[in-house]
Amino acid sequence: MKVAKFGGSSVASAEQIKKVAAIITDDPAKKFIVVSAPGKRNKDDFKITDKLIEIANRHCQGEPYGHLTETIMMRFSEILDQLNLSSAIAEELHQTLEEALGSNEYDSPKVDIVKSLGEVFSAKVLSAYLTSIGLNATYTNPETAGIIVSDEPGNARVLEESFANLYALRKNSGIQIIPGFFGYTKAGKLVTFSRGGSDITGSIVAAGVKAELYENFTDVDSVFTVNPSIVYRPKQISTITYKEMRELSYAGFSVFHDEALIPAFNVGIPVCIKNTNNPEAPGTMIVAEKEPTEQCVVGIAGDGGFCSLYVSKYLMNRELGFGRKLLQIFEDEHISFEHAPSGIDDMSVVIRQNQFTAEKERIILQRIQDELNVDTIKIHRDLAMIMVVGEGMISTIGVAQKATKAITDANVNMVMINQGSSEVSMMFGIQEVDLNRAVQSLYKAFFE
């Protein structure tokens, strides 16, 4: 038994929904289907969820939003029309939308209900279409499915009892179509996950029903070894471990919602990233463990927007508690640090730059001066972090040398190297402006 999740582009149009139906028809093991809201049909198109959020915002501010409702209903109607389905689904949703917004502009709208309607529509349409072509398909609301979440609107967390509830769905016959992105609190209130949360729903369902595989259908053939916007047509990854995937996601690989891997990871269900537009392609398997191969580097990722705060103090390393106190100052200001490499009398704290407002900077510098009595403080901005990722690199001689050579060959200065703290990656800090050049050179060294 498999769980398949189809992303926004897979349900963006009638044509795409037909592809999804063909994929489901071809594989009787796909018993649970999770869907996103209709996404973009082309680069200049809009996502349904974006429009829904805009409607909720405009309603709050007393601004007109009738034209947006119109746009959404037109898209829905077009899909239903081209699939030869009744327009009742669209009308039902229109009504739900109006109810959720409240009767007048001063009512506070039920934002999470509004946001969830794109997924609800996708799931209802797909189940109606599958039924129309002769399959035994049922729309299953997350409430019926038993997806119980915490009461944190826009950022729900799944509660443990959900998994047993979902397991009970196995006894139902036919194909069950579940809208992604939301669950219900114990009190029965609809609450959404963070954005991109349909991946989370899919993973929760896979873990709950104890699927043999969680297939995540998107619009690329696989996870690439490097960002295709930096390297032209890079190699594809056939198998990757959860850990490797996580390290790559961190530094700019946005194929998969970070948190979404957790439920599948916890129970060891493999995840397969596949392409709705090319389902024959084998895709990328994300697994707990893989056979060691000669190629120990699996991918290279890079991301900008980091800054580092450097402090030095003579005989720092004799001062018990120095590092802890420095990190405490950041924690007190609710800034999470990414890395904190330390030398003998030096320590750097690397953070995402967007957390470091002028006000936070002022407070933190002041506190470091007052409380830690350091000799030097320096801030380096606009840094990029590159991750060279691969299980097995820890025990392979020469990987670090190859990587540093590639970066040096690109004439890029390494501001920071952090190897060994992670068993599956090596991290290089460089200037943001050097990012593409360094990544291209690393790709060449490891994959060409």
Name the percent of the chain in helix, strand, coil, to the closest 5.
40, 20, 35
d(CA 178, CA 253): 27
From candidates 15, 423, 433, 444, binder to a copy of itself by CB under 8 A: 423
Query: Could you say whether residue 194 binds a copy of itself (CB under 8 A)?
Result: no
Query: Could you say whether residue 310 binds a copy of itself (CB under 8 A)?
Result: yes
To which H or E segment does residue 310 belong? strand 299-312
Binding window for a copy of itself (CB under 8 A); candidates: 73-81, 184-192, 313-321, 358-366: 313-321
d(CA 13, CA 46): 12
Residue closer to a copy of itself, measured from CB, 184 or 214: 214
From candidates 379, 395, 433, 444, binder to a copy of itself by CB under 8 A: 395
Angle at 3 between CA 290 and CA 289, to 5 degrees: 10
Angle at 200 between CA 194 and CA 202, to 5 degrees: 145
To which H or E segment does residue 120 belong? helix 111-132
305 annotated among ligand-binding-site residues: no
From candidates 134, 321, 359, 373, binder to a copy of itself by CB under 8 A: 321
49 annotated among ligand-binding-site residues: yes
From candidates 161, 331, 371, 382, binder to a copy of itself by CB under 8 A: 331
Residue closer to a copy of itself, measured from CB, 184 or 242: 242
Token pair 């992303």 is found at: 7
Residue closer to a copy of itself, measured from CB, 123 or 309: 309
For a copy of itself, the binding residues in 348-367 under the rule CB under 8 A are: 348
Token pair 């948190």 is found at: 259
Chain-centre distance of CA 96, in angstroms? Answer: 28
CB of 413 to a copy of itself, least distance (A): 5
Residue closer to a copy of itself, measured from CB, 67 or 324: 324
Query: Could you say whether residue 334 binds a copy of itself (CB under 8 A)?
Result: yes
List strand residue ranges (DSSP E) for 147-241, in order: 175-179, 182-184, 190-192, 213-218, 223-224, 236-237, 239-241
CA distances from 80 to 14, 77, 83 (A): 7, 5, 5
Buried b or exposed e, range 332-361, using 16+ CB within 10 angstroms? ebebebbbbbeeebbbbbbbebebbeeeee
**Interface pattern 239-268 for a copy of itself (x via CB under 8 A):** ---xx--xx--x-------xx--x--x---
Task: Enter the DSSP assignment of 413.
Answer: -
321 annotated among ligand-binding-site residues: no
Residue closer to a copy of itself, measured from CB, 86 or 266: 266
Query: Could you say whether residue 233 binds a copy of itself (CB under 8 A)?
Result: no
Chain-centre distance of CA 293, in angstroms? Answer: 27
The binding site for a copy of itself (CB under 8 A) comprises: 242-243, 246-247, 250, 258-259, 262, 265, 310, 312, 314-315, 317-321, 323-324, 327-328, 331, 334, 336-348, 394-398, 400-401, 404-405, 407-408, 411-423, 425-427, 429
